[in-house]
Each structure stands twice: as structure tokens, then as C-alpha cells.
Structure 1
Amino acid sequence: MIKNYIKTAYRSLLKNKGFTILNVLGLSVGLATCLLIVFYVVDELSYDRYNTKAGRIYRISIDAKLNGNAGVYATSEAPWKNILKSSFPQVENVARLIDKNGLFLSPQKFYVKKNNGNILERNIVFTESSLFDVFTLPMIDGNAAHALDEPNTAVITESTAKKYFNKVNVTGRTLTINDSNTFKITGVIKDIPAQSQFHYDFFLSFSSRPESKSNNWGYAGLHTYLLLKPGTDVAKLEKALTNIDIKNSYNPSTWTTGDNHLRVFLKPLADIHLRDADAQYTLEKSGNIQYVYIFLLVAIFILLIACVNFMNLSTARSSNRAREVGVRKVLGSARKYLVAQFLTESVLVTFVSAAIALFLAWMLLPLFNQMADKHLEITPQIIAWLLPALLLVVLIVGFLAGSYPAFYLSSFQPIDVLKGKIAAGFKGGFLRSFLVIFQFAISIFLIIGTLVIYNQLNYIRNKDLGFDRDQVLVIKNANTLGNQAKILKNDLKQLPGVANATLSSYQPTGDEDLKTGLFPHRKIDIKEDILTEFWSVDEDFINTMNLKLTNGRNFSKDMSGDTAGMIVNEAFVRKLGQLNPLNKDVYRYSYGLQQYHIIGVVKDFNFASLRDNITPLAMVYDFDNGAISVKLHSANLSALMAQIAGKWKELSPNQPFTYSFMDQDFDATYRTEQRFGSMFISFSTLAIIIACLGLFGLAAYAAEQRTKEIGIRKVLGANISTIVAMLSMDFIKLVFISILIATPIAWWAMQKWLQDFAYRTTIQWYILAAAGATAITIAFITISFQSIKAALSNPINSLRSE
């Protein structure tokens, strides 16, 4: 019986090739797109799940607000480990990490010696042997229990061992870092999975650092992870830790005055990648759960549109099969067999579409990986859950799409059908009208979202940031030159085509930053703390970056007193509360009290993400050779770059010449938003195309059902434009209703998205109007093809008696 159903379904689908192709095409493209998004979402949600104890691992985090400076911090203070181990039995183990951003009294860049050269390595962290108990980092050579107990020991990854020694079993070998520090390799671990919150290649012993000898409150540059025992009351533990932190802070009463607060909270390991976007000093840049929700919603929308197309075309075609149902009933077919036949056809189409969708997803995966900056692949683990899920989708979609013809048409009385008493046509299909409104409302929502995202990304690219990033070359790793960095800078300034150059680790588009507390009085009062970006720059920094001085003067190498001078931005002046800040003294406590006097004020410029408001910034006159920023104005850029590279090689022949351009660094800051925008626009376009496929099929069936009406109208003198307008109006009305439904919802949703940006565009009325006009135009173009075809047909053919 089932074999007969399948054979009959195959013949019926083959007989109606146009219907079958539209259904299979729309559904397969929709399912393939949905699959790609699901792969992305599953990958994002799987971060750190490779750890066997992931459910019991937490990071100590701080939520603090002081004098209007609010922030969430991923780092914590040094004494926590001893306190936790001695006073909290519910803590099974503690692991601490300190990366390059948390170091002091040491270079923040690490060069590892290989043969006669040095290789800059960025993925280096200092940690303890307990890390390998807290996290699942399988060791393939060495003893994990005591690997990092001794000073100057190191654990490296498998790929790093092959990179430096061409083999994995390298325990006992040594690595030389920054020419003078030798580390003994005590272990080799497997490469860290891509779905991890950190990806270090070198794990150096924490006891090698001077920070390891500090057990005082005040230094908060460590990442502290706890492995809790099963059943631990996390909320109770957080409260106890908060009380300890406040008690040991400077002036504890400060945190209970006004709107100041200090709270210690434990961040679950599984939440760090997607729910840690607001935290500062994270080990790696995290993802955003908001984007996961958005793409998951888009996937649902696309799947719904594809399913709606399938249902619409099935219901439209089903009215043409009413006579078939009547004949079958007259010949003795029971209703249950008719139901089974319709459902078999529907499930067969869905099954074929799912198979094609799986193939399309596999073919498009490399392109999607490039767009999403992922390394997704279809593994046996994915297949294990994908095939059952696809089978479930096939059954659900097939049943829903086939339910209308199966249960509705099979209920007709044969005599009514054979006499033509069952009305057919588009106007009578309330279900189809509702489904068209539904899918076009989704399409309009996506069109508005696409326009708003495009406008915001364009706004970011073109916003005046307050500095000139055009044609600014940033030469990396200038600290390898030592004092010769000044020589290189001065040599570069003499080159034709170089407007200016400056030495500094800090650039408005760089990833180096340093926050410190500055105070308006010699007597340190934490209530007056101004949390400030603190940059060491030279006398050419302001001119090279084209910053605008609004008050005072620039640094001068001819004025020895400028070593105690400071140039601040307008945000700092507002925080300071001084109308005339020039020559005002401010103080910093760092290895003693340091006094500075303000000599200039620069106009606010965006040195951080446009998601954040401009915060206070202080620049001091000090030698910092982290990088050389060079302002170029040459038409022959390639020749000038060759000259600059030559100057580098003269001073440092064994070190690679690495550089970037500041505008590229700026774009990299918003790479996540750009990827999100590109993916959203691509998926929205596919959703609209899928919706149009369904509308195209509906228009074809609507025109087919009204062929006699069209023939009569033509005989009575109706022209082509009148007939096209008549056939199109039924659909255009539904699109108008969709616009009224989708526009306010889309406006609200995109306003919520824009609120994540401190600097953002506004949703103008013409964006909403353009989205509606686009939807109407797309619908009209889709419908008009079939309408014009019907209007041009010979009325004799449609009015001829059967």
C-alpha cells in the first residue's frame, strides 16, 4: 500500500513539474539556509563545553561603580587564592592566569628564539599547575600535576612543539624568551579547541612573575577561576566574597555611599563567551548572545517562510484536484486513503527538499565559514543529531503542508465536486491570504532590519572620530629596537612622502590600553578618583593623529618640565569639574605619589568602540617605543613602503617588519558588526527570494483559475493594464496589510539593537517607507509576470467549451 502511495505521489508531482520545482526549490533553499544558521548557533553555544567540569567552573568577576565610573571587570585581586583555599571548603580548586595586559615591570611583548631569529608570540599566559585540574587540557607529554610548580617552567601546545622542535616529545627542552629568559618545558598539551574562551600556545609558570610574590589587596590583574564542589550555593558564596572584598578595599565606607557599589559575582564558564560582552580585560574578545538570538530568529523566519510557501502552493493546487477527489470517491476510495495519498505527496516533496538542502549546506559551508569567520565542518557528532532533526522537520512540514488538501478536500461530497459546486479561486482562500500576509510581514521586517544595519555600519565607517586615521602606517614591535626606535622615527620623518611620525604603544585604533586612577588633590581620596585612560606619548603624537587642541599647548622636547606635564581630553575636564584646568595639578599613586600639571586640552576623540561613550583620557610625555605611527602623503605608496622597510632592515635585520594601517585597524574593531551585517543582509535577501517564489506560484494559480473571467473581460474591451491591475490588486492589498503589521514591530526591534551603540544613527521615516515600497515593488514584479502572461492569452482558448 505504501509503495502504491509513493508511486502515485511521484506521478502526480511529475505531472505538475512547475508546482514541484517551485516547492522543492523554495523549501530546499530555506532549509539549507536554516541549517547554516543552526550550525553557527550550535558552535557559539558550545564554547567551553569541552571541559568535563564546565558546570562547576566559575570566574571571579567584579561589578563596581565609583564616582560615576561603572564597569564590570573580568580580573580580580591576588589574595583571593589563599582566602578561598583556607576559608571556603566548597571551593575544590583555584587556577589563576595573568596575560600580557595584566603584567607590570616587564615588556608586554614576547619574542621566542628559534634558530638565529626571534618570533613574536602573542598567545602567552602565566598560570599554575592547578589550571590542568580545573580545565580539561589533556597532556600528551609530561606530568600535569606539577608541570608549572617551579619558576621558569613552561607547558606548550602540540602545534607549538612541532613549530619549534618538529616533534611532540620535547619535555626537558628549553625556550628562550626575550633573549634573556630561559624556560624549561615540562609538558605538552593537545591544541586547545576552537570553542574556547582562551587560545594560548605557551603556559608559563606563574611563580616566574614578580606578581606571584604579591599577596596584597590593590593589584587586580589576575583572572581567577574556581572549581566548586557539587551542590555549592553560588549566591551565598558571592555574598561572602563581596563582604571580604569591601572589607579589604581602600576606605570600605565609600562603597555604601550614594550610588557607589562593589559586588563580587561568579561568572559561569559556559556564559563567558556569549554573556560577557560588557566585561573589561577579558582573556579574549567574547561573542554576543544578542547576535545568536537574532540569527536564531532569522533561521525560524526563513524556515517559516519556506513552509508557508509550501502550504500556499499546496492549498492553491489542491482546489484544482477537487475533481480528482470526486472521481476517486465515486470509484470507492475511502477518505483515509485520500488523506494518506495527499500526505505522502507532501512528505515526499519535503524529503527531497531536505536531501537537497543538506547537500547545499555542505557545498556552501566554506563560503559561510569565510563570511562568519568560523571553522565549521560537518562531523559525525553533528550528523548524529542532524539526521534525526531533519527527519522530524520532514514529517512536521510535510504533515502541515499536506493537511489542508488531505483533510479538507477529502471531506467533499463527490456529487458537489463533479457538478462544479465547490468554489475555487484566490479570493475564497482565507488561509492562503493569512499565510501571504504572514510571510510578507516577515520579509518587510527583514528589509527594515537590513536597511537599519546597513545605515549603522555606514555611519560607523564615515563618522568623524576626532582624529585622522587615513594613510597612517603603524609599525609594530618597535620595542625590539630599544633606543634605536627614536633613530628610526627621525629617519622616517626625513623621507619624502612622510608628513610626521610618533612613538607610542597607544593608538586610537590599537589594542593597548592602560586605565589608572587620577586624583585632584595630593591627599588621596578614593571618592575623588577619576578613572582615566593613561597614555605615554611623545611631542609628535598630537600632530601625527591630527588631534585638535582646544586649550593650552602641545608637549615640547625643549621644555624639561613637560616630563611632569599632562594633556587631557574634554571628558577628563568635565569629570574634573574645572572650567579652566590649565596648570591644575593632578596626582597618581603608582610606586609612590606622582604629580602632574595639565598643560593642554584636546577635543574629545573616539579612541574606543563607538558602542561606548568617550571616557577621560590623560597623555603624559614619556618615552614609549611600542609602535611607530607614520603619517603618509605619498601618491606612490608602494615605493615609500619599500623605503620604510629598508630603514627597518638597516637597524634590525633579524626582526620581521610587521605593520598595519590605522584605517584597517579601525575596521577590525568592528569586524564582528560587519560580519553580522553581511550575514544578516545575505539571509534577509534569501528570505525575500523564497517568499517571492511562493508568490510567483500563487500568482500563476490565481491567473489559471480566472482564465475564463480574463477572457470575458478582454472580449468586453478590457486592456492589458486593467487586467494586470485586477490580478495584482488582490496580492498588493495583502502586502499593504503586511506593511502595517511589520513596520512598528521592526522599528521597535531595531531601536533595541541600536541602543547597544553610544553613537548611532536614527531610524528615519523614509527607511520605513523605503522598506514598504521595496516590498510592494518586489511583490508587483513577481506577480506581474504571470498577470501579463494571462492578460496576453487568447480569450478564444479560455472561452472554448470543454
Structure 2
Amino acid sequence: MIRNYFKTAWRSLRKNKLQTLINLLGLTVGTVCCLSILVYTIAQFDYDTHHKDAESLYRVRTENKSIGNNSINSNFATAGPPIAFALKEDFPEVIEACRIVYYGSDTGEVIRKPNSDQSYYEPRGYLADSTVFNVFTYRFIEGTPKNALNVPNTIVLSSTLSKKLFGNQTALHKTLIRGSGEDELTLTITGVFDDTFGKSHLNPNYFLTMNTPGQGEFVRSIQNFATQNFTHTYIKLAPGSDAGRLQKKLPAFIKKHGAKDLALAGFDKKLFLQKITDIHLYSDGITMQIDKVSSIKQLYILIVLALFIQLVACINFINLSTARASKRATEIGVRKAIGADKSILIRQFIGESVILSLFASLISLPLTALILPFINTLTQGNVSFLVLLDWKVLLLLLSLGLFTGLIAGIYPAWVLSSVKPARVLKGPVHRQAGSGNFRKGLVVFQFVVSIVLIISVIVITQQLKYTQDKDMGFDKENLIAVRLGTEDASKKFDALKREMAAVSGVSQVAGCNRYPSEFNTSDLSMHLPGEDPTNLISVIYNGISNNYFKTVGTSLLAGRELRPNDSSQVVVNKATLDIFSIPLDNAVGSKLMNTYEGESTELEIVGVSQDYHFASLKEAIKPILLYNDTTPSWLIIRAKTTDYQSLLKGLKQSWESIITNTPFEYTFVDKEVEKLYTEEKRLANISITLSFLAILISCLGLFGLVSFIAENKKKEIGIRKVLGAKIGSLVKLLVRDFVILVIIALLVAVPLAYYSMQNWLQDFTYRISISWWIFLLAGGVSLVITLLTVSMHTIKAATANPVKSLRTE
């Protein structure tokens, strides 16, 4: 019986080649899209699951809230240095703890081999407690994790860094030099771990022991429970411990240890436990992350979009199958007349759908493997080809094929099996192809999905263009930031500034600790003189040199730039005046007080700059205070040439004439500004791709449906032509219904797209308004695509010789 079903299904699919090809192509494209998103999704849920007892590992994060008016909330992924081991001491359910100080993902610290002139800025380096390998699981290929970071001046490398520095030689017990000049450290390598083992939000390149003098000593010395929340803090709970119950004890814990510190700092503090496996997907709004995190909301959006694409492909199958019901009416009538009941016919027709869907799933696997590099580029993921062979993925693919076959086939099966045999056997049954509210509703749904995606692409693209074109308050073009990555380089800032100012093609040179658009969480608690010192307002701060504003292209609204001998003088932006209610006319000469641990410092405002964006347009411009720093972290260079090759060569020569054992590293500020919107660009690229796929599948369905309608109407068209009908009127006859469906779809899609895009734009403090022309353009694009698709067959049918269609009448 099953063999007979299969043979009947195969014959039917072969007989209707065009319909089968269209359905197969549509289902394959939809399945490839779904499979790609599912593979990417599985990879995102796999972060930090490889650690032993991963369900018992938690990150301790912090939320600070200023007590005074105009309070600013801070939501950090970090905590204060003393908190980790205080938790272990106070709560028996905390059986292990560790702290990590993150050196950065993009710039890193200078590392070189002894007696070598070649040095590297190595990113993703961590200063870590010796207990880090008791909390996290790392597979060591040299040395052992036990006691690897107990001894001062020891370091553990990733296998990638080890190979870079030592090739295929063993790295264990060899030495490295970290830093340069007075801050040089000689480190002993005590282990090498396999960095291909498991995906983690840490993604480390090396671990340096917290027992190291200098920075490690500084971290260990901090006992303030309120401020300096810069350490990534992790704890391991005992088996059977309830994290929720421990969370409820944390307010009392912070009050016990930090009440005095918090009173002096002028803000409230809350601690939260975040499961280690939740960090990658559930960290929206949390700042000071170690690595880029994903968003569970965006992941759900991708899954929903992929399912919609698959649904559009199913709709093609439903429409074409039900439209061709009349072609199979005789077969169904005969089979019913000889005893086939409705359930047998339903199983047969669903079987045909499932066979086609499973075949599409089978084809989609190698196709997905083929386009995997494109998928990784599109999603900025790193999904391996081997993931496609994972049993979970294969099971999902099989389930997707079966589910798609069922969804696509159940309605056509019900329609086809409902044919009355008596009516069929009396004579031909002529179903009005293309009629039926259900089929029209499905076509409208396809158009709605396509139009919503088109509108989304236009809005996202317009917002990205707005972020690129908006005046940032500084001139990002031709602006180069050169890193002073060591204490030695920072101390030689004045000499470097003079040398680089003399390079051909350089217009202005200045220094700063954070260049415009570089992430900055450094803040000071400020208040006006004479006001309550516990009523504090948080203000971002940045160290700069003289000539900074002229170099970056930011105007001063009042006062002057900083001078080399300024110490308690500062320049603030307009937002600072607004938050402290200081009139611009009275700003120069006004005082601000910085209070820390009960001690206050008076700062004099000598200049006011215009507001400029030193962060993403998603954030409102915050108050910022700029002070004079003689040892900044960056050189900022304004170029006046387009010959960057010669310019950079000259800058490098100037650098090497003064600095040794530190590489020359630079970045273009405009490129760094673009990086602020990486997530939005990724979303735009994914939306464009999904829109193209939705339109492609919809066009395939339209093409098949119109070809069938044209075939059914060929005699009617022939009669009309004989009676004198023009080609234009015949095309209009066939196209009219589809145009009406596009208009209905546009009316449904516009409010849906407007609502969803308005929600998306809420993430941006500075954003575009959604204009009426966007909806008109989306509707016009949909209409043109529909007309082009439909016209391919309608014009052919309208220009056909009527004799061929009428000669059998």
C-alpha cells in the first residue's frame, strides 16, 4: 500500500513538472533559509556550556543609582574588587570565586619575547585570580591548570598565541616581556590551553596572574565596596544551592560591607547574579561586557522571519495544488467510485507534499554547507561546517521537512479529497482557477510579508545613512588615532607630538585618553559648591592635551582650550551646564566639586565646548568633563593629505625614532564610528537577504499561479481576440486581480511595518521619522515586481494565436 502511494505521488509530481519545479525550488529556498538560521541559533545557545558545572557558575554584576536629582543609572557587567571573596567568606553556598580584569579586545597590551625587537599588541588579555581555573574549565595542552597562576609573574597562553610566538616549539617554562620601559614585566609561561575548546564570552588570549606586582597589587589593595566597579566577578555555587535565595541576601550583604562607602559616594548599589550560560544572549543594556554579546530578541526575530519565509513557500504549494484541483478531479472521482475513502486520499496527497518537502530538505543540506561562509559573513558568526552534521541539526532538519510537508499539504489534501465522484463522472469539472477567498488570502499574506520586509529594509537603511551623515559635533574624516600603548610611550608624548607635527601631510596633533567614539565608562561624582556632597551627579571624564578641540574639529561656545600648565581647570560640554543648571554666560569661572571617599576637589570651568557625540547615536549626549593630561593614551592627528601611504610611513618613522619595543598602531576614527553600528548593519544585511528570498519565493508562486490561470483562460482569451479584444485589455483582464491583492496587502502591511519599525527606532535617541514615501516606495516596488512576474505569462497568453486554442471547439 505504501509503495503504491509512493508510485502514485511520484507519477503526479513528474506529470506536473512546472508545478513540481516551482514548489521544490520554493521549499528548498525556504528550508535553506530556515536551516541557516537554526544552525546559527544553536551556535548562539552553545556559549559557556562546556564548563564543568556550568549551571552552578554565575557572574556578579552591578547596578548603581545616584541618590540626587537627575540621577543616572549604571548597569555594569562588573563589580568592585573586594566583592568576590567577601561573598565566598560570608556565604557557605559560594564554594569558589575569582576576579578578572579585562585589558581590552581591540588594542591589548604589548608582549614580546626576550632579546627580540618584534613586539605585538595582544588583545583579549586578562589579569586573573589563581582560582580562575577552579571556576572555569580549560583544556591544557601544556602544563596543568592546578596552581598555574599561583606564583607572581606567571602567565598562561592560548594555543593560538603560543603558536604565534613560538611556532611548533613548546612554550612551557619560557619567558615573555610584557610592557616596555619602567612598566616592563618578565613573565614565566606556566601553561598553554586549547582555545578551540568550547565557545565562551571570555574568549581569552592569555591569563596573567593577579599576584603580579603593579596592576595586580592595585586590585588586591582595593577595599571599597561602592566604587571602582571594574572587575569581572564570578562565583561557583555548591551543588543544590538556590541562586534565587542567595540573590535575596545580597542587599543585606552590600549594606553590611559597603554602607559607609556608599554614603560617601552618594549612590545606591545593587548586586545581581547572572547565570554564566545566559551572558551571551541575555545581556541587553549591560555595559562593560568582555566580548560582543548577542541579543535573544534579535535571535527570536531571525527565527520568526525564517519561519515566515518557509510559510511563504508553503503558501506557494497550497495555492498551486488547490488551483490544479480540477486537473486531478477525474482521478479522484474514479478512485472514490472504486472504494477509496476520504482518509486514504488525504494520506496520499499529504504524502506527496511530505515527499517533496523531504526532498527539498535533503537538497538544502549541501546547499547550506556551500553558502556557510556567506552565512558567517552575514551574521558575523563562526559556525563550523561540522555543526551541520550534528545529530540535533539533522533531527531538526528532518522535523522541519515533515512539518513543512504537513503544513503545505493538509489543506490541498482536504480540498482534493472533497471532490464529488458523481459530479466528476458526469463530465469535466471546471473550477474557477484563481478564485476562492482562501487562496486570495494566502496570496495577500505573501505580499504582506514581502512589503513589511521591504519597508523594514528601507527604514533600517535610512537610519544607518542618518547616523553616517549626522553632524557628530566633531570632524571624523581624516582623523587618525595613534595608540600610546605603554607607560614609556605616554611619557614621551610631547616628543612624539613634536616629531609627528613635522611630518608632511599632518595638519594638527593633540593627545587624549579616549578618542571620540571610543567607549568610555570613566565617570566622576560631581556637585555644585555649597550643595549637599551626597547629592551627586555622574559626569564622564576624559584627559586631553592642549590643541585637542582644534584637532578634532569641535567648537568652543565659551572660554578657552586647556593649557599645558592647567591642573584644576577643566572644559565641559553644554550638556554639563544643562544638568547643573549653569547659564552659558556665567559658565567660565564657575566651579564644580568632585567628592570621593569624603574628600572634595574644586575644579574651575575655563571653557565650554559644543555637545559632541562621543558614543553611539543610540545614547543621548552625556555630560563630560575634560581635564589636562600630560601622559595621554592616544595621539590624535588631523591629516591634510589623501596620500595616506606616505603619511603613515612618515608617522611610523617618527614613532620608531623615539619609541622602542612598542609597535606602531593606529586607527582611522571614521572607521571606529562605523563600528558603533555594526549590529544595525548586520540587521540591515540580513533583512535585505530575507526580503530578497521572500520576494523570490512569492514571485515563483505567482509565476506558477499565473501560468495555470493563463492556461485555463486560453479559450476565453481566444474568443475575446476573435471578437476584437486588444492585447492591452487582455493583459489587464489577467493582471487586475493581482493588482487588487497587492493594494490590499499594502493596506495591511503599512500599519504592521510602521509599528515594528517605530519600536526598533526607539533604541536610538537620535533617529529618523518614518516618512510616507517609504510606504509608497515599498508598495511601488511590490507592484512593479508583481507586474513583471505576472506579465511574463499574460503577454504570452494575450499574443498567442487564437486558432490554436479554438480549433478543437
CA contact (8 A) 1:127 1:206 kept: yes
Name the counterpart of 1:545.
552
Q: CA deviation at 1:445?
A: 1.4
2:568 corresponds to which residue? 564
Structure 1: how far apart are the matches of 2:260 and 2:589? 29
1:461–1:283 distance in 2 versus 1, CA, 3 Å: same
1:493 and 2:501 are equivalent in the alignment: yes
Q: In 2 relative to 1, CA 736–301 (structure 1 residues): closer, same or farther, beyond 3 Å?
A: same
Larger mean Cα displacement after TM superposition, 677-686 or 419-428? 419-428
Q: Distance in 2 between matches of 1:633 and 1:725?
A: 61
Pairwise CA distance, 1:304: 0.7
Contact 1:73–1:279 (Cα < 8 Å) also in 2: yes
1:644 paired residue number = 651
Residue 354 of structure 1 aligns to which amino acid in structure 2?
S
Confirm whether residue 207 of structure 1 aligns to residue 195 of structure 2: no
Question: Shift in Å at residue 335 of structure 1?
Answer: 5.1
Query: Using the alignment, how far apart are the partners of 1:189 and 1:569 within structure 2?
Result: 47
Structure 2 equivalent of residue 130 of structure 1: 131
Question: Would you say the 8 A contact 2:452–2:753 is kept in 1?
Answer: yes
Q: Report the AA paired with residue 675 of structure 1.
A: R
Structure 2 CA distance for aligned equivalents of residues 329 and 168 of structure 1:
78
Instruction: Tell me which amino acid in the other structure corresponds to 2:35.
Output: L
Distance of 2:534 and 2:108 partners within structure 1: 28
Q: Match of 2:677, as an amino acid?
A: Y
Superposed, which structure 2 residues align to 1:344-383 within 5 Å?
344-379=351-386, 382-383=389-390
Residues 381 and 52 (structure 1), Cα distance of their counterparts in 2 relative to 1, 3 Å cut: farther
How much does 1:688 deviate? 1.3
- Report if aligned partners of 1:110, 1:122 keep a CA contact under 8 Å in 2: no
Equivalent residue, structure 2, for 1:508:
516
In percent, how many aligned pairs have the same letter? 34
Work out the CA distance in 2 between the residues paired with 1:54 and 1:392.
29
2:191 maps to what in 1? 187
Q: Deviations over 1:28-71 (max 9, x none)?
A: 11111111111222222222122232222111112222131112
In 2, the alpha carbon distance for the partners of 1:335 and 1:75 equals: 65
1:365 Cα deviation (Å)? 0.6
Cα deviation per residue 1:348-402 (whole Å; 9 max; x = unaligned)?
A: 2212211222121111111121222222123267531222222222222223333
2:612 to 592, 605, 613: 605
CA contact (8 A) 1:63 1:73 kept: yes
Distance change in 2, residues 1:639/1:181 (3 Å): closer
Q: 1:436 deviation in Å? A: 0.9
Query: What CA distance in whole angstroms lies between the structure 2 residues aligned with 1:405 and 1:220?
Result: 62
Match of 2:89 in 1: 86
Query: What amino acid does structure 2 have at the position aligned with 1:786?
Result: H
Instruction: Kindly state the Cα deviation for residue 405 of structure 1 after the two structures are TM-superposed.
Output: 4.1
Alignment of 1:582 onto 2:588? yes
Check whether the contact 1:246–1:252 (CA below 8 A) recurs between aligned residues. no
State the match for 2:77 in structure 1: 74
Task: Determine the C-alpha separation between the residues in 2 that align with 1:470 and 1:631.
Answer: 9
Change over 3 Å in CA distance of 1:640–1:175 after alignment to 2: closer
Residues in 2 aligned to 1:62 and 1:406: alpha-carbon distance in whole angstroms: 58
Structure 1 residues 763 and 677: alpha-carbon distance in aligned structure 2, compared to 1, 3 A threshold: same
Does the residue aligned with 2:207 lie in a helix, a strand or coil? strand
1:101–1:281 contact (8 Å) kept in structure 2: no
User: Any idea what SS the aligned residue of 1:487 has?
Assistant: helix
Determine which of 245, 250, 273 is the counterpart of 1:241.
Answer: 250
> Aligned pair in 2 of structure 1 residues 189, 256: CA closer, same or farther (>3 Å)?
closer
Say which SS state the counterpart of residue 587 (structure 2) adopts.
coil
The answer on whether the counterparts of 1:137 and 1:192 sit within 8 Å (CA) in structure 2 is: no
Q: Is the 8 A contact 1:251 1:526 kept in 2?
A: no
Matched residues, number: 792
Equivalent residue letter for 1:228:
L
CA RMSD for the aligned pairs?
A: 2.6
Contact 2:264 2:596 in 1 (8 A): no
In structure 2, stretches of 5+ residues that fail to align are none
Of 460, 467, 476, the residue aligned with 2:474 is 467
Which of residues 90, 95, 100 in structure 1 aligns to 2:98?
95
Is 1:282 matched up with 2:289?
yes
Matched, 1:224 2:233: yes
8 Å contact kept, 2:138–2:197: no
For residues 715-730 of structure 1, the aligned pairs below 5 Å read 715-730=722-737
Change (3 A) 1:79 1:513: closer
SS at the partner of 1:290?
Answer: helix
Question: Is the CA contact (8 Å cut-off) linking 2:365 and 2:388 kept in structure 1?
Answer: no
Which SS does the other structure have where 1:146 is aligned?
coil
Say if 1:505 and 1:512, in contact at 8 Å, map to a contact too.
Answer: no
Secondary structure at 2:321's aligned position in 1? Answer: helix
Unaligned runs of 5+ in 1: none
Q: How many angstroms does 1:83 deviate by?
A: 2.5
Paired residues for 1:380-395 under 5 Å? 382-395=389-402
Contact 2:559/2:608, CA 8 A, preserved across alignment: yes
Q: Which moved more, 1:31-40 or 1:328-337?
A: 328-337
In structure 2, the CA distance between the partners of 1:733 and 1:582, relative to structure 1 (3 Å rule), is: same
What does 1:424-503 correspond to in 2, within 5 Å? 424-477=431-484, 479=486, 481-503=489-511
1:437–1:737 CA contact under 8 A, matched in 2: yes
Is residue 265–residue 596 contact of structure 2 (8 Å, CA) maintained in 1? no
Q: Does residue 118 in structure 1 map to residue 119 in structure 2?
A: yes
Cα deviation per residue 1:460-519 (whole Å; 9 max; x = unaligned)? 111111000001122223645354332232222233422111122311122455222233
Deviation readout 1:398-419 (Å, 9 max, x if unpaired): 2333334433323323331133
Note the alpha carbon deviations across 1:413-440, whole angstroms, 9 max, x for none: 3331133464412353333112112221
C-alpha change, 1:396 and 1:206, in structure 2 (3 Å) is same
TM-score by length of 1: 0.93
Distance 1:515 1:632, change over 3 A: same
1:16 partner letter: N
Change in CA separation of 1:524 and 1:24 when aligned onto 2, cut-off 3 Å:
same
1:648–1:101 distance in 2 versus 1, CA, 3 Å: closer
Q: Give, in whole Å, the separation in 2 of the partners of 1:696 and 1:381.
A: 33
When normalised by structure 2's length, the TM-score is: 0.92
Aligned match of 2:625: 618
Q: Residue 82 of structure 2 aligns to which amino acid in structure 1?
A: P
- Counterpart secondary structure, 1:145: coil
AA aligned opposite 2:569: G
In structure 2, the CA distance between the partners of 1:143 and 1:374, relative to structure 1 (3 Å rule), is same
The 3 A distance-change label for structure 1 pair 380 and 690 is closer
Measured after TM superposition, the shift of residue 599 of structure 1 is 0.1
Tell me the residue number matched to 1:27.
27
Moved more, 483-492 or 722-731: 483-492
> What letter matches 2:14 in structure 1?
L
